[in-house]
């Protein structure tokens, strides 16, 4: 049994988070790894706990991971990374319009009202804004985007993990309150399945380039051997194992994969262009809830 308790931080974006990490805690203990977890109400506090040494690792949104790295660089320390889910790699967000919409390309978005998720959602605001900037919608002298943005700020601080903001944007699209709405591709499919987006009434106008999502960020104070053991236990979990599959299903994956940071470049650029975090990781005032 690992002597020191390895403490993980996770954000409680829904009640199922308790069930998920209780299950993983029991699994780690069965593998003689002394594991516990602390739940946070928001990612900003979780990141500060990671850098302050309260936790050994954080199950971070991509935005929280990038903030952690900025804070670490400002303090002259190096953070590690752990695994990520297969379902967190090579994702994309889509801009959805009604089938009856005259919009056929991003160039026609000038002057239109577009719905986004929460102000701190990587997939439903920050990365889509970067996509639109890269598409050339920056013709105002002050660099502002040339359309009307409407954010659906549900549960700010949870970095879009709570999909209610995206759902609200989808409802606003159907109700004619916005002319287009951003959401991650998997939520577009889910909203169609549940009836939030009526069958056959919407289409995808455009799609972002692929990006990655959640990842374990490891404290600089956590020793390498413990980190390696933590990661290996996760990587060894197999979908074919009936003991393991319920845990993987709860956390929405089929396998853990080695973590990578190559899929965060769009979000990194968006953080700067939207002035979300300062270079030292400070959350800028306009983005506070």
> For residues 26-63, b (16+ Cβ closer than 10 Å) or e, as one string?
ebbeeeebebebeebebbbebbbbbbeebbbbbbbbbb
If you average pLDDT over residues 174-183, what whole number do you get?
Answer: 97
If you average pLDDT over residues 256-283, what whole number do you get?
Answer: 95
Query: What is residue 263's predicted lDDT score, i.e. its pLDDT?
Result: 97
> Within 13 Å, how many C-alpha atoms sit on residue 27's CB side?
22
Give just the sign of the alpha carbon dihedral 93, 99, 101, 102.
positive
Cα 89-37-219 angle, rounded to 5 deg: 65
Can you read off the two tokens belonging to residue 129?
Answer: 């804004």
pLDDT for residue 121 is more than 90: yes
Which H or E element spans position 98? Answer: strand 93-98
Query: What is residue 137's predicted lDDT score, i.e. its pLDDT?
Result: 87
3-state secondary structure of 86: helix
Q: How far apart are CA 286 and CA 279, in angstroms?
A: 16
Q: How far apart are CA 218 and CA 2, in angstroms?
A: 17
If you average pLDDT over residues 241-250, what whole number do you get?
Answer: 95
Can you read off the two tokens belonging to residue 93?
Answer: 């967000």
What is the percent of the chain with per-residue pLDDT over 90, rounded to a whole number?
A: 86
Query: Radius of gyration (Cα) for the chain, nearest Å?
Result: 20
pLDDT band, residue 162 (cuts 50/70/90): confident
Q: Does domain 6-88+213-261 have CATH number 3.30.420.40?
A: no
Q: Does domain 93-207 have CATH number 3.40.640.10?
A: no
Residue 236 makes CB contacts below 8 A (sequence gap 6+) with none
pLDDT band, residue 156 (cuts 50/70/90): confident
Query: What is residue 141's predicted lDDT score, i.e. its pLDDT?
Result: 52
List where CATH 3.40.190.10 sits in the chain: 6-88+213-261, 93-207
Query: What is residue 285's predicted lDDT score, i.e. its pLDDT?
Result: 61
If you average pLDDT over residues 68-89, what whole number do you get?
Answer: 97
Q: How far apart are CA 262 and CA 279, in angstroms?
A: 19
Q: How far apart are CA 42 and CA 138, in angstroms?
A: 32
């Amino acid at each position: 049994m690992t002597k020191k308790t390895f403490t993980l931080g996770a954000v409680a974006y829904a009640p199922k988070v308790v069930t998920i990490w209780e299950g993983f805690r029991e699994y780690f203990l069965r593998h003689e790894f002394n594991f516990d977890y602390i739940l946070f109400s928001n990612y900003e506090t979780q990141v500060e706990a990671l850098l302050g040494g309260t936790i050994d690792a954080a199950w971070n949104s991509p935005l929280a991971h990038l903030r952690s790295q900025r804070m670490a660089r400002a303090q002259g320390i190096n953070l590690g990374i752990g695994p990520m889910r297969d379902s967190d790699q090579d994702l994309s967000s889509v801009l959805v319009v009604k089938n009856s919409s005259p919009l056929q390309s991003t160039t026609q978005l000038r002057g239109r009202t577009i719905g986004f998720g929460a102000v701190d959602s990587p997939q439903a605001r920050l990365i889509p804004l970067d996509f639109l900037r890269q598409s050339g919608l920056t013709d105002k002298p002050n660099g502002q985007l040339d359309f009307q943005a409407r954010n659906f700020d549900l549960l700010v601080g949870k970095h879009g993990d709570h999909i209610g903001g995206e759902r609200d944007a989808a409802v606003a699209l159907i109700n004619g309150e916005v002319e287009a709405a951003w959401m991650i591709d998997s939520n577009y499919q889910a909203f169609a399945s549940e009836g939030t987006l009526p069958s056959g009434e919407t289409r995808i106008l455009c799609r972002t380039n692929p990006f990655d999502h959640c990842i374990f960020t490891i404290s600089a104070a956590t020793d390498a051997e413990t980190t390696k053991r933590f990661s290996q236990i996760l990587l060894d979990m197999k979908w074919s194992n009936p003991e393991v599959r319920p845990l993987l299903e709860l956390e929405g994956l089929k396998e853990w994969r080695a973590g990578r940071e190559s899929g965060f470049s769009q979000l990194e650029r968006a953080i700067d262009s939207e002035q979300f975090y300062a270079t030292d990781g400070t959350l800028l005032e306009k983005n506070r809830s």
